[in-house]
Structure 1
Amino acid sequence: MHAFAVPDVPEVREGDDLAALVSERADLADGDVVCVASTVVSKAEGRSAPLSAFPPGELATEIADRLADIAGEEKDPRFAQAVLEESAAVWMDAPFLLTETRFGHVGVNAGIDRSNTGDADLLLLPERPTESAERVRDGLDADVAVIVTDTSGRPFRHGQRGVALGWAGMPASRDWRGETDRDGKELEVTVESVVDELAATANLVSGEGDDGTPVVVVRDFEFGDHDGSDNLYRDLEGDFVRQALDEWEYARD
């Protein structure tokens, strides 16, 4: 397996055809996995916005004031309002906003970006990233899988890594349960998040900052003879971390 960046991708603007931009610059082969940064997906889908589009309500103002007290610097309540409007649930509001997007991703500030936003103040995540991945896949000239990626921090670890937000043309995970290890013991809980691992692979190539390489092709990845699943985001009933956060918030109130 190897990964390479698609070269010379121009600045993406609203209405651009991402599939055409990729097809013109990459000789894709059947079985490739095309990893596309959510940044360019959002730009093509017109998900940029000015701060003025989010006049703050009372809750956003309270959150911004609380965060400002913790950080020792002013926080814009309009940004807090944008996060609230892009979120289905708020799991922490101090010392940062940890929220759940409407498509199930849990991350800081609903994944709203304030860098590489072009002329806009904010760049919101795609509304339905799996549908975005399907549209890109349908427009490509080979039988490939497509993953919409983002970078996200993880609990208990410094730094960020690539994660999948949406995918098409492959399962999200491969299920090893029922198979055996080298000692013949049956695996009971192992489900591998393949789309996240491929997103992280792509992020090693695309990098951060001003590299300008938002599309990475992973070639010769083999899913193998395993069962697959599209369950990537945990339900609340099975997510003990969110349950603990909910209980902590209740106790704090």
Structure 2
Amino acid sequence: MELFAPPDVPEIRAGDDLAALVDERVELRADDVLCVASTVVSKAEGRTVDLDDVTAGDRARAIADRLERVTGDAKDPRFAQVVLDESADLVMEAPFILSQTHFGHVTVNAGIDRSNVPEADLLLLPEDPSGSARRLHEELGVPVVVTDTCGRPFRHGQRGVTIGWAGMPASRDWRGETDRDGRELGVTVESVVDELAAAANLLTGEGDGGTPFVVVRGFEFGEHGGSDNLFREYDDDLIRQALQEWEFPG
């Protein structure tokens, strides 16, 4: 298996045809998976916000005031309002906002970005990342993974994760198969789309590289069962339940 980033990708703007941009730069093969940074998907779909167009409500102002007290840094209540608008639920309000997006991803500040947005204040995540992946998959004929980066509980640093996918299962389901000693596996479900996203993030990077597309060539899913369960439901997420019951002392 190998990974490479198609070169010379221009700044993406609303309305740009991402499939055509990829098609112009690489001849995709049947054994390819295309990983696409959510940043360019959002830009092409016009998912930008100017703070001058936002009016903060009472809850947003209360959250911003609390965060300012906790962190000692000024917080813009308009930003908090955009996070609320992009969230189906808040898991935590302090010492930072941890939210569930409308499509199920749990991340800081609903994944809203301030970097690499030359023509607006904020860049939102795609409204429906799997829908975006599906459209690209239908146009390009290969599996597509839409990636983002986020932090990890219990570890420092960020890594690439998948927020949308199409053309392949999200996970390999090893349950019912056996290890080398013949013991049956009972719980192992491997999130291959997250693993592909993390590998692709080694090439896309986090700064000004301008490499939002990564082709994974030669990946084989193998003879395994597949699963599309990626985001945990609330009743099955013990960590989320505990965080929502916890109150930050500040």
TM-score norm. by structure 1 comes to 0.96
Instruction: Find the aligned partners of 2:244 and 2:13 in 1 and give their Cα distance.
Output: 39
Asked if 1:65 corresponds to 2:77, the answer is no
Q: By how many angstroms is 1:90 displaced?
A: 0.2
1:227 matched residue in structure 2: 225
Question: Superposition RMSD on alpha carbons, in Å?
Answer: 1.1
CA offset digits 1:179-198 (Å, max 9, x no partner): 01111111000000000000
Query: Which residues in structure 2 correspond to 1:1-253 (within 5 Å)?
Result: 1-140=1-140, 143-249=141-247
Q: Secondary structure, in 3 states, of the residue corresponding to 2:193?
A: helix
Shift of 1:63: 0.7
TM-superposition CA deviations, 1:1-59 (whole Å, max 9, x none): 11000111111100000000000001211120000000000000000110123211111
- CA–CA separation in structure 1 for the residues paired with 2:178 and 2:153: 30
- The structure 1 segments of at least 4 consecutive aligned residues displaced by more than 6 Å after TM superposition are none
How far apart in 2 are the matches of 1:4 and 1:89?
37
Structure 1 position 208, deviation (Å): 1.1
Gaps of 5+ in 1: none
Q: Does the 8 Å contact 1:177/1:187 carry over to 2?
A: yes
Structure 1 contact 88–100 (Cα < 8 Å) conserved: yes
8 A contact 1:31–1:145 mirrored in 2: no
Counterpart CA distance in 2 for 1:114 and 1:202 is 22
Distance in 2, Cα, partners of 1:154 & 1:122 = 23
Q: TM-score, normalised by structure 2?
A: 0.97
* Cα distance in structure 1, aligned partners of 2:219 and 2:7: 21
What is the identity percentage for the equivalent residue pairs of Structure 1 and Structure 2? 69
Greater CA deviation, 88-97 or 65-74?
Answer: 65-74
How far off is 1:144 after superposition? 1.0
Structure 1 distance, partners of 2:113, 2:130, is 19
2-structure distance, mates of 1:181, 1:52: 58
Q: Which amino acid aligns with 1:102?
A: H
